[in-house]
Structure 1
Amino acid sequence: MQSITIVLLGIVGMIIGWFFYSKFIATKIFRLDDNNVTPAHELNDGKDFVPTNKVVLWGHHFTSVAGAAPIVGPAIAVYWGWVPAVLWVVFGTILFAGVHDMGALWASARHKGKSMGALSESVIGKRTRSLFMIVIFLVLLMVNAVFGVVIANSFVDQPNAVFPAWTAIAVALIIGQLLKRNFSLIPMCVVGIIVLYASVYAGSYIPIELPETMFGLADTANWIIILFIYAAIASLLPVWMLLQPRDFINGMQLIVGLLLLYGAVFFAMPDITAPAFNSQTAESTPSIIPLLFVTIACGAVSGFHGIVASGTSSKQLNKETDARFVGYLGAVGEGSLALITIVAVSGVALAASPEEWHEVYSHLGAGSVSAFINGGANLIASGWGLPVDFSSTILATMVVLFAGTTMDSGVRLQRYIIQEWGEIYSLNALKNGAVATLLAVGTCLLLAFGAGGSSGSGGMIIWPLFGSTNQILASLTLLVISVMLIKLGRPARYTLIPMFFVLVMAFFAGIIKLKEYYLAENYLLVFLDAVVLIVSVLVMLEAWSVISRFKKGEATTG
């Protein structure tokens, strides 16, 4: 089969979802209404609550949620075959992710821009907030640990990406300073993008590598430590100084990358060499059900999106109806990235024959980001005629910038949670930004090295655990939205069915991984997995109690 068939069917499906299903959910279920004043107007402070054009806000939301996960997950899950991966990405985007993201924006906007943790207290109860915050903290912890390893591995495998990746940070810092001094945005962005791609070209000739062993640690481990030192500093800087301009640069990079990859498919029309359903999996390969649904999290449905939607995006919503454009279309954007990733790692651009493809994907976890970079680079080279080295540097830089931005935001959000715990439990030390940041970074390093040893590879070892935890968070977010709908007397099946499906798959995946971690004597991951499973059950029981009391006409504020 030609890859263009997969692309056309997938994109057409998402377009239909946008024009019809999202409109139905927005108008008939959430009933988005511009007569409702959004928190951006009601609480406008010129800093966090700021009415924002929906296109600009979509760009912020899209780049914030589209980290490396919609690349990593699909590039791993294609091992079971490209058909199940494509089906989950396309239908997950249409029926799950879009509704989840739009719903999180709507729910938060209806509650003065509250975060999902605080919102759970308003909708379900006080105990739920504490439980929700534990799951959110663990998701952020795993996101940061995973992406730290992803970037470190990319730096080792693609040393040409090191120079442009750090150049992008310098460019973002300069743009942030100029914006603060009221310089025009468009000229600066044009210059910034030119400098970024000039650095990508230069990086092809300036590989930067750390010694294989330094301070008794491997090069990957040293990169992880350097990255978290950077993330700690970045998370303490004002958002205008680095995070916002870096978001914008990454948005431009993402759009260019998608245009290059999709354009290459239409120009080259490569064949698919990966099996539709892989019947030659290794003996130790876990069952596709439920593991597929947690391996591909971002790109199908992701609890991390709810954190972003209720954490920053809802505070910038100009009109309530913009939630459809920002939330649902943001999910479609990420789904399109996951879809093109599947194509890049399934076709002749990566392996000329089925036999060669099986050599690359010898076991679950093989291929991954390196397969995306190699396959995508060859795809771009065949479609656009660009040099393979330059193309691979573009994609490696794209992966690193996405993952780096997510790390910046993730560590910052971890710090917020730790400081919030300090407020709740009157622990003054935790209220300090520097102390909270050190604790956030310290727990990330503990997980990366504690789960994977001195190599720091724990970030990838915990990928299935991150996937199941992230999906459990998505189901809990859908649960909060469902309780809101039930209280408003509206149909909740459009959120309850996705919630139930995701929760069942994630819960059983968590149980499977719990057994694996126990047999491997990795007791740190056993503990984390058990905490997530127990907390999810407690939140569900709390929600059921609230729904039961509400149906009986009793008070629901507890």
Structure 2
Amino acid sequence: MNAIFVLIAGLGAMALGYVFYSKFIAEKIYRLDANFRTPAHEFEDGVDFVPTNKFVLWGHHFTSVAGAAPIIGPAIAVIWGWVPAFLWVIFGTIFFAGVHDAGAIWASNRNKAKSIGALTGDVVGKRARSLFMIVIFLVLLMVNAVFAVVIAGLLVDFPSAVVPVWGAIFVALIIGQLIYRKYIGLIAVSFIGVLALYGLIGLGPLFPVELADSFMGMAQNTQWILILFLYAAIASLLPVWMLLQPRDYINGLQLFIGLILVYAAVLISGPEMVAPAFNSNVPEGTPSIIPLLFVTIACGAISGFHGLVAGGTTSKQLNKETDARFVGYFGAVGEGSLALAAIIAATAGFATVADWEAVYSAFGQGGVNAFVSGGASIISNGIGLELSLAETLLTVMAVLFAGTTMDTGLRLQRYIFQEWGNIYNINWMQKVLPSTLLAVGACLILAFGAGSGGSGGLLIWPLFGTTNQLLAGLTLLVITVILARLGRNVYFTLIPLVFLLIMTVMALLLQLRTFYAAGDWFLFGLDLVVLVAAIFIALECAATLSRLRTEGSGEKASGEKSADKKD
């Protein structure tokens, strides 16, 4: 099939989902109220709580949740054929991710911008909260440790990316000042930021940067990991308007330019989807498509990490409650669009089926490299951009997104330690600096544990997909309980969460058997912890829903003001 039809069908379906389905969810289910006083106004402090333009906030939310995951997952999952990957991305974006992301923002916003973990204690119970926090902590640990390893590896392999990657930070700092101190219009700032960013991409190949092969006994990878965590720690302490918001916003614009280039090249050159629509000849050792498809493609269809961002940083910056539809649901559409581009690049970016099969010779192959090489080939053939420049552009795009996710992830992990400090009355842990040091320390212990030389985070990466999707299902559980307490229709969140819980529990059981057979007791133990936590949280939530149904409750969720009452 020609990729043009896949592109038009995918974008058209997601556009219709945003125009019609998100409007229904926002007005009839969540009942977003423009007059509700958001926590960004109620607790405004100029650091974490900052009322923000919805376009800038969309940029923060979207780029924070995107990272490299919506590229990696779909570009791996096409090993089962491009049709299953395409269908899960489209239907997942419309009926799962958009509802999940907007709902997490709404629920947090209605409860003083509490995180989903803390909110669980209010709407379900303390035991469920404690278990939920363990799952959240593990997901953040995986994201922060692994993304540091991945970014470090890319900076070592592509020294031409160093200047644009780090230069983007200085561009963001300037953009933040221009917006909040000089009051320059957003359009002018956007133009300046994009020009500066692409100017840096052009300079990158002219001024490649490589660290010393060894410094104080540390290899290049190790040096970059330490530098990245030092940067992330400092970034997490800065006010969100100074770096986090402008960096994410400019990266969001950069992504759309990258997507426009890919999509325009597809429309011009009309490449064929050379990979099989349904691949019945998968390499030996490839796991079953069910349930693995639904955990391999996380970001791009639905991801629990989105709920952490939605209730961690996004809800603290929401200017109007009605902005949750644009920021949350449209943010999911943006992520789905990136996943769609990854599918096309990883299937139509090859000359022949044989070329594609050579890359996808085993499960787990493809990923970012398939996206970069395939996408660059499509861009080069479609609009005539030099292949090496197209590869640099897509590589920098992937690295910058991974970096923004790491920025937000470390800030969220700091929030987790602070919340534990509040829960258990540990005063010093509630402070910003100690909690930040704890977050960095936990990531470094994982990254450098067992003499791994910095790659230790990759040890628990096999569990990321299942743990992440489980977290999405549990977030939908909390949202469903809140809706039930308000006497609202719960089926639009209940159906997706049941599907997710079934798929992720199946995947966890499958992995448990795999780890046991391989004698990998570390991953076996972690898998068991996550599985037991999931079962107990699900039972707690089910008991709460059953009790509410019996009571015929219309009571409000803890700390929530009625959504029908004008504030």
TM-score scaled by length of structure 1: 0.93
Partner of 2:280: 279
Secondary structure of 1:114's aligned partner: coil
Please say if residues 217 and 454 of structure 1, whose CA atoms lie closer than 8 Å, have aligned partners that are also in contact: no
Matches within 5 A, 1:42-441: 42-45=42-45, 47-177=47-177, 179=179, 181-182=181-182, 184=184, 186=186, 187-210=188-211, 219-347=220-348, 349=349, 351-441=350-440
The alpha carbon displacement at 1:404 in A equals 0.4
Structure 1 residue 365: Cα displacement: 1.5
Cα RMSD, aligned residues only: 2.5
State the Cα distance separating 1:212 from its structure 2 match: 5.9
- Post-superposition shift, 1:255? 1.6
Mapped contact 2:56–2:249 kept (Cα < 8 A): no
Structure 1 counterpart of 2:147, one-letter code: F
Q: Could you tell me which residue of structure 2 aligns to residue 474 of structure 1? A: 472
CA distance in 2, matches of 1:473, 1:386: 41
Matched, 1:487 2:488: no
| Change over 3 Å in CA distance of 1:11–1:190 after alignment to 2 | closer
Aligned match of 2:563: none
Q: Which amino acid aligns with 1:342?
A: I
Inter-partner Cα distance in structure 2 for 1:82 and 1:525: 30
The share of aligned pairs that are identical, in percent, is 61
Distance 1:48 1:440 in 2: 17
| Deviation, structure 1 residue 96 | 0.5
> 1: CA distance between counterparts of 2:345 and 2:480?
37
1:163–1:199 CA contact under 8 A, matched in 2? yes
**Alignment match of 2:521 (pick from 516, 520, 523):** 523
Following the alignment from structure 1 to structure 2, what is the Cα–Cα distance between the partners of residues 231 and 52? Answer: 22
Alignment check: 8 A CA contact 2:515 2:521 kept? yes
Aligned partners of 2:57 and 2:245 also within 8 Å: no
- Residue 442 of structure 1: how far off its partner (Å): 2.7
Distance in 1 (CA, whole Å) between partners of 2:143 and 2:39 is 28
**Equivalent-residue separation in structure 1 for 2:166 and 2:87 (angstroms):** 37
Say which is worse superposed, 480-489 or 393-402, in terms of deviation: 480-489
Contact 2:313 / 2:412 at 8 angstroms: preserved in 1? no
**Structure 1 residues 439, 258: CA separation in 2 closer, same or farther (over 3 Å shift)?**
same
Distance 1:41 1:338, change over 3 A: same
The one-letter amino acid paired with 1:394 is L
Distance 1:179 1:330, change over 3 A: closer
Partners of 1:204 and 1:389 within 8 A in 2: no
Return the offset for 1:288: 1.3
Which SS does the other structure have where 2:324 is aligned?
Answer: helix
Unaligned runs of 5+ in 1: none
- Alignment partners' CA distance in 2, 1:426 and 1:161: 45
Change (3 A) 1:27 1:414: same
Q: 1:477 to 1:519 in 2, by over 3 A?
A: same
1:528-558 CA distance string (max 9 Å, x none)? 2222111111111211222232233399999
Distance 2:213 2:107 in 1: 49
CA deviations 1:285-341 (Å, max 9, x no partner) are: 111111111111011001111111122222333333332222211111110000011
Q: CA 1:180–1:323 in 2, change beyond 3 Å: closer, same or farther?
A: closer
Given that 1:14 and 1:332 are in contact with CA atoms closer than 8 Å, whether structure 2 keeps it comes out as: yes
Distance 1:541 1:411 in 2: 30
Q: Which amino acid aligns with 1:295?
A: T
Distance 1:26 1:188 in 2: 30
TM-score normalised to structure 2 length: 0.91
Change (3 A) 1:322 1:509: same
The residue identity in structure 1 corresponding to 2:158 is Q
Tell me if the contact between 1:450 and 1:524 (Cα under 8 Å) persists in the aligned partners.
no
Q: Quick one: distance in 1 between partners of 2:7 and 2:461? A: 27
Gaps of 5+ in 2: 559-567
Equivalent residue pairs, number? 555
The residue identity in structure 2 corresponding to 1:236 is L
CA pair 259-443 structure 1, distance change in 2 beyond 3 A: same
3-state SS of 1:346 partner: helix
- SS of structure 1 residue aligned to 2:207: coil
Residues 347-367 of structure 1 deviation map (CA, whole Å, 9 limit, x = unaligned): 1x3x21101111111111112
